Amino acid sequence: MKILPLVLLSLVTLLAPLAAEDPDANRWTLFQSLNWSDRLGMINKSEAAVTEDFLLKALDLLNSVQIESGSDNEVQQKHDLALEIVQLLGSRGTTKSLPALELLVRQVNDPLLKGQAWAVLAAKGDASIVPSLVQSLDTLNVSSQRTHAQEILAYKAVAALGALKASDGFRSVLTASFGWYSSSSQVRELALKTVPLLSADPEASAISLIASEKDVTLVNGWFHWILSQGHPQSQTKASLTVLQVLAGLVTNDPDQLTTAAALSQQALASIVPGTGDPQQVADRVAPFLRRERTISVKTQAVGLLGAEANAPCAALLGSSLSQYNDRQKNGVNTAQDQEVVRSLVKALGNAKRGEGRAALQEARYVGYTPALVQQINQALASLAP
């Protein structure tokens, strides 16, 4: 009868370590024995009981076996498992998972999985991913493939930059707001909502971008975003900055030249009289009055200077008229030149500034038509004493 208690004592001694064993260890042993699909099922059934350490071991296992290698079915199963693990790690309040998630982002191309990892990293405040987010979004913004998968990645990149309030992402996100993305992808809409999160003064930041950019297509997009904000002073600053960029543009690209021509007219039309520094307005408009070949741009520049009605702008109008007066004396003014002269006379009359008096007085005696001389006399009569 003494043998039975000894047997029971031996069993208790043997089983005690197993009972005290870490539940994660038993769970991990079982996890390793399953295929990928069953591993996902196991995690789904015991989400509440699965620890962060267990999830990290599972993710390390996935990273080690190259998630996107194998048959299509196997890759899909690994993707599904990885996606579930990433989502569960996102619900944990620690930053312990950051290195594993960063590794995952570098290893996978699947837009849903990479995007979800970005989202979790951003939610955990991992600013180290900002450079790669910016690089990815820049690449997507100029992509020639333009696939739905790329739209998913772009959306996730914009969302992550917004969550991190990453100022380094301002340029990329603003560019995405007028990019190639379809309306159904919501990338452009999200980008527009995200822009204010990335700068204390988004319009000033956009103007700074314009000032240092040579790609007219980007300048055009950023400029129109500023116009959409509806703030006259920012609108004028942006317009003057655009004119400065276009005045220094050197390109033979026909698309760039076409965009530049339309953009110069838009910039001239968008300067709100009286909201910019008078001398700066005159300086930025001058190249389009003196060197521009397109007659409509020239006359538009003249009209703006007349509407400004300040000393620097009136002086520029007067000096420009003097140049045409000299050409008229030498008999080299063309029909288009005569049109510019008429616009100059009208603008000087509208400005009512004495800075144009000398040029108008001279213009009466250089051989313009009687009708134009009559217009010149009317402009002179309107000048302030």
Q: Which two tokens stand for residue 71?
A: 């048959």
Q: Which residues of the chain have pLDDT under 70?
A: 1-22
Q: What are the residue boundaries of the structural domains of the chain, listed by start?
A: 27-125, 128-199, 201-276, 289-385
3-state secondary structure of 70: coil
Nearest CA among 198, 113, 189, 114 for reference residue 163: 198
Cβ count within 10 A of residue 231: 14
The length of the chain in residues reads 385
Alpha helices (runs of H) in 271-369, residue ranges in sequence order: 278-290, 295-308, 311-329, 335-351, 357-363
Task: Give Cβ neighbours of residue 294 (< 8 Å, ≥ 6 apart).
Answer: 261
Nearest CA among 81, 18, 72 for reference residue 54: 81
In this prediction, residue 7 carries a pLDDT of 36
In this prediction, residue 294 carries a pLDDT of 84
Residue with tokens 């007028």: 178
User: Within 13 A of 136's CA, how many CA atoms are on the CB side?
Assistant: 25
Q: Which two tokens stand for residue 312?
A: 């620097």
Q: Which two tokens stand for residue 244?
A: 């400065």
In this prediction, residue 46 carries a pLDDT of 84
In this prediction, residue 22 carries a pLDDT of 64
Buried/exposed 56-68: b ≥16 CB within 10 Å, e otherwise: bbbbebbbeeebe
In this prediction, residue 217 carries a pLDDT of 94
In this prediction, residue 25 carries a pLDDT of 86
pTM over 0.75: yes
Q: State CA 74 to chain mean position distance.
A: 38
